[in-house]
Structure 1
Amino acid sequence: MTNATRFWLIRHGETQWNAERRLQGWLDIPLNTVGLEQARRVSSHLQSADFDVDIDVVISSDLGRAYETARIAAAHLPLPIMRDKQLRERCYGIYEGRDWAMLEGEQVGSHYVNFRDPAQEVEDGETLPEFATRIARAFERLAQEHPGRNVLVFSHGGVIDIAWRQAAGVGLSAPRNGPILNASINCLAIDIDRKWHLLDWGLGSHLHAPALDDVL
């Protein structure tokens, strides 16, 4: 993996809508108290001996819940946080704000909801293939812009799901092998010829460790 760009991809901390299982999409829902604490625990982990990586670049989705997680978690790094709209969550259009589990099988607008169908139309939103294409292109562009560097990215559950599928070679209709936890850390690499490599996934032990404020 010569000149491969390594990405440490972190999901934003919890919001109240996460706790209520409501689709957020492009709506700018802030972190709740739990999410703020999760961001502090990510910060503690990134400053600990367990994380021995020299980060070169910090990038965040432009949505507030991701950017606020980045602002707290990466405050110790002498680096600006670059915002990238292409790293936003999937746009769920008219479904945003609804309980995703309650939507299944319901008619919303002109469509019946079937999230198991990758081609499911989303009124005023993105289909899953459209979203997946946007995310793959965003990461491959970042790999070309920052070859051989260590990039810390703060984004969303759907974005991390697509990155995992790209790196693991898993199709959009296949089930995922586990949840994507808020403030979990995931690692992948993309080399100069746009080949993806899955390095580590679903790291969450830092969420149960004391934050720096708890041990000082």
Structure 2
Amino acid sequence: MARSIYVVTHPEATHHVDGVVGGWHDSDLTTQGRRHADAIAQALGRQLPDRHVEVFSSDLLRTRRTADAISTVLHKVPVLDARLREKSYGVAEGRPQAWLDDRFIPPPAVGDRMSHHEGISGAETKAAFAERIYAVMAEILSRPVEHIVIVTHGFALTYIITAWLELPWESVGYASFASEPGSITTLVEDDFFHNRQVATLADITHLNH
């Protein structure tokens, strides 16, 4: 079975414009973000059939609103899963970005980057973050569905892609796939070789219509 995965990063949220740390901070979409959520939904509606589609989403408000817009167009009920959340930044969440920047300890250039602690109480390591993304992706990809929509967050996109490519999470300490709010990344698997590819990365052309 050929498969296509459409990974949506939620559009503009209040933490973006307020200059505060996102993570698990439960920010809402802005007015522009809601317009862009509708644009994402319309773009996916033009590409996807009503049947053989499932929608999965992070349970945070900004992703739920995006998933609701998509699901309305596709006539589906989104499956909410906390494992699709953004990386947790612990006590920094909801605080000014400058507060985090002043305390953040960047990962080493060499060595164990996945288990590195960034100096913020309660924050996830990359290892913990990647492990939960890989776990939920294993369950999602076990579904016998031709088209899957995943609504998530910017940083989470990286580990969704590496999980799709079957790269061991222990080996992705240097991996980073840039994203944009409201982007759609398309992952495709053919039905003969079962090769997997990143067909489009963080496309935002639908936001310009």
Q: Give the Cα separation in 2 of the matches to 1:18 and 1:103.
A: 14
Q: How does 1:1-216 map to 2 (within 5 A)?
A: 3=1, 5-48=3-46, 51-52=47-48, 55-100=52-97, 103-104=100-101, 106-107=102-103, 113-117=104-108, 118=113, 119-121=116-118, 122-144=120-142, 146-167=143-164, 171-174=172-175, 176=176, 179-189=178-188, 197-209=197-209
Asked if the contact 1:12/1:65 (under 8 Å) is kept, the reply is yes
Q: CA RMSD in A?
A: 2.8
Of 73-82 and 9-18, deviating more is 73-82
Amino acid at match of 2:148: V
For 1:57 and 1:73, how far apart are their aligned partners in 2? 11
Task: State the Cα deviation string for residues 95-148 of structure 1 (Å, max 9, x = none).
Answer: 1123446633x34xxxxx22344312441121111101110111111111x134
* CA deviation vs aligned residue, 1:133-177 (integer Å, no higher than 9, x gap): 110111111111x13431111111121122234456583235x36
**Counterparts of 2:3 and 2:106, CA distance in 1:** 32
- Offset at residue 52 of structure 1 (A): 4.7
Instruction: Kindly provide the amino acid, as one letter, of the partner of residue 106 in structure 2.
Output: F
Q: 1:14 to 1:151 in 2, by over 3 A?
A: same
CA distance in 2, matches of 1:129, 1:196: 24
In structure 1, how many angstroms separate the alpha carbons of the residues matched to 2:107 and 2:73? 41
Q: 1:16 to 1:196 in 2, by over 3 A?
A: same
Note the C-alpha offset of 1:23: 1.6
Cα distance in 2 between the residues matched to 1:150 and 1:115: 37
Per residue, is there more helix in 1 or in 2?
A: 2
Q: Aligned AA for 2:138?
A: E
Segments of 5+ residues of structure 2 without an aligned counterpart are none
Q: 1:19 to 1:161 in 2, by over 3 A?
A: farther
Assess if the C-alpha contact under 8 Å between 1:61 and 1:86 holds in 2.
Answer: yes
Against the structure 1 CA distance between its residues 198 and 34, is the aligned structure 2 distance closer, same or farther, given a 3 Å change threshold?
A: same
Give the aligned residue type for 1:208.
Answer: N
Length-normalised TM-score, structure 1: 0.78
The answer to whether the 8 Å contact 2:45/2:74 transfers is no
Segments of 5+ residues of structure 1 without an aligned counterpart are 108-112, 210-216
Of all paired residues, the percent bearing the same amino acid is: 25
Inter-partner Cα distance in structure 2 for 1:152 and 1:94: 31
Distance 1:8 1:56 in 2: 10
Contact 1:6 1:189 in 2 (8 A): yes
TM-score by length of 2: 0.80
Whether the 8 Å contact between 2:179 and 2:202 is mirrored in structure 1 is yes
